[in-house]
Amino acid sequence: MSDEVVIVGAGIVGLAVAFHLQGEGRRVRLVERGAVADGASRGNAGAFAFTDILPLASPGMLRKAPKWLMDPLGPLAIPPSYLPSIAPWLFRFWRASRPDRYRRSLVVQGELMRVAAAAMEAMVREAGLGGHVRADGNLQLYESEMELAAAQEGWDQRAGAGIEFEHVRGGRLAELQPGLSPRFVAGTFTPHWKTVDDPYHFALALFDGVMARGAAITHGEVTELSPTEPGVRVTLRDGTVLDAARAVLAGGAWSRPLTARLGDAIPLETERGYNTTLPPGAFDLRRQLTFGGHGFVVTPLSTGIRVGGAVELGGLKLPPNFRRSEAMLNKAAAFLPGLRTGGGAQWMGFRPSIPDSLPVIGPSRASRHIVYAFGHGHLGLTQSAATGRLVADLLADRTPSLDIAPLRADRF
């Protein structure tokens, strides 16, 4: 049997796991069904959102959801044909949004983000990725003082977690982002928010580093993970069999069929995210802007300006609805007068989403030699290094730096 650790999935989470395992002297093999970092790792908003500790499953989201669902191109959409399939997940989401469960998830998310910030700083330094990281902060925008007041509870919770922010208006708002529509009367600036120059380039740079340290890669779709007497057997659709000492499932939105075969019924769903990346220079964008009332962000990248976000709960099989990208771009043009909207490239990707807004990190039911690392929703890039550190702890039989009980698969 090989002493390798097989990592299923070569997105940003799988790559961060590989990097951390290599740091402990382990041999790793990535198994990727498509191209490296070609899923959500390619087209995300590029943020290290360590201050984003508020779970999506929240009482506030429940209040907004009915209004948003009335607009098929709004911040939240569920295609009618998909409603029967997603109904059990929506019920779990509703339960996770109850105040007591929301507060528990908020505490866990805050603790995970503290680990994530430290782990990412270390990984960026050790992997030589500092040139890809920007520390411009984030500016969340409000169209009325009432909207800001409605968001204040969330900012109070962030303040309780030690997160620094500044409510801004007037000249300070214009200084942070010139050229905003006058409809925006206030904003909240989080100065320690960071972004990357381009999330795909960041992931590929990490992949190059992992390969330079001796990783191997196999391309193909994994159809089964099987515990064996000494370790794990990994079977691919083309008949390839890999025997390994350990395996890590970091397959993102494609992870559920494999966990089901291992006896873990995990409520993993797919948030389909949309964006348009405009050419460089399309607007004088100083930092990432969040239009929370409309469910999207605008991010300055080295490769252009990315307008995207929103949530479409539609699974893996339905065709993309790029009218959603167009709707966000039209709003961005109204919010940022002077934005040049021509020449953009549209994209849709699959975010792996768990009802309680927390990832699944921990051993499988079938074997402690098979460890799960998926379900990060909007926060895969942000929490990737923390996930790598926690998985390394688990495979070394160390007590993790964070209590993983709220993240384990058996919480369901």
List Cβ neighbours of 391 (8 Å cut-off, separation of 6 or more).
17, 20, 21, 248, 361, 371, 373
DSSP 133: E
Q: Quick one: which of 351, 300, 296, 353 has its CA closest to 326?
A: 296
Contact 97, 59 (CB under 8 A): yes
Residue 181 domain flag = no
CA–CA distance, 380 with 251 (Å, rounded to integer): 12
Residue at 251: amino acid letter: G
Residue 334 lies in a domain: no
Residue 237, pLDDT score: 97
Count CA atoms within 13 Å of residue 366 on its CB side.
22
Q: Is the alpha carbon torsion for 301, 303, 307, 310 positive or negative?
A: negative
pLDDT for position 70: 79
Tell me, yes or no, whether 402 lies in a domain: yes
Residue 107, domain member (yes or no):
yes
Task: State both tokens at 209.
Answer: 């580093």
Give the domain range for residue 386. Answer: 1-58+97-131+197-268+354-412
CA angle 152, 61, 80 (to 5 degrees): 155
pLDDT of residue 2: 67
Is 293 within the bounds of a domain? no
- Asked if residue 86 is part of any domain, the answer here is no
- Please give the backbone phi and psi of residue 150, each rounded to the nearest 5 degrees, phi first: -65, -25
pLDDT at 1: 47
Copy the structure tokens of residue 336. Answer: 């940022």
Is 372 part of any domain? yes
Per-residue pLDDT of the chain (412 residues; tens, 9 = 90+): 468 999 999 999 999 999 999 999 999 999 999 999 999 999 999 999 999 999 988 888 878 888 888 788 888 899 999 999 999 999 999 999 999 999 999 999 999 999 999 999 999 999 999 999 999 999 999 999 999 999 999 999 999 999 999 999 999 999 999 999 999 999 999 999 999 999 999 999 999 999 999 999 999 999 999 999 889 999 999 999 999 999 999 999 999 999 999 999 999 999 999 999 999 999 999 999 999 999 999 999 999 999 999 889 999 999 999 999 999 999 999 999 999 999 999 999 999 999 999 999 999 999 999 999 999 999 999 999 999 999 999 999 999 989 999 999 999 9
Q: What is the pLDDT of residue 64?
A: 82
Phi, psi of 169 (to 5 degrees): -150, 175
Q: Tokens standing for 316?
A: 């893996």
- The position carrying tokens 């927390």 is 358
Element (H, E) at 268: none
115, part of any domain? yes
Question: Total structural domains in the chain?
Answer: 1
CA pair distance 240, 237, nearest whole angstrom: 7
**CB neighbour list of residue 259: distance below 8 Å, 6 or more residues apart:** 249, 265, 266, 268, 364, 372, 409
pLDDT at residue 109, rounded to an integer: 96
* pLDDT at residue 42 in the model: 94
User: Helices (DSSP H) in 180-255: which residue ranges?
Assistant: 199-212
- The CATH code of the domain that includes 384 is 3.50.50.60
Residue 225 backbone dihedrals phi, psi, to 5 degrees: -115, 125
Contact 276, 321 (CB under 8 A): no
Nearest to 286 by CA among 298, 303, 277, 275: 298
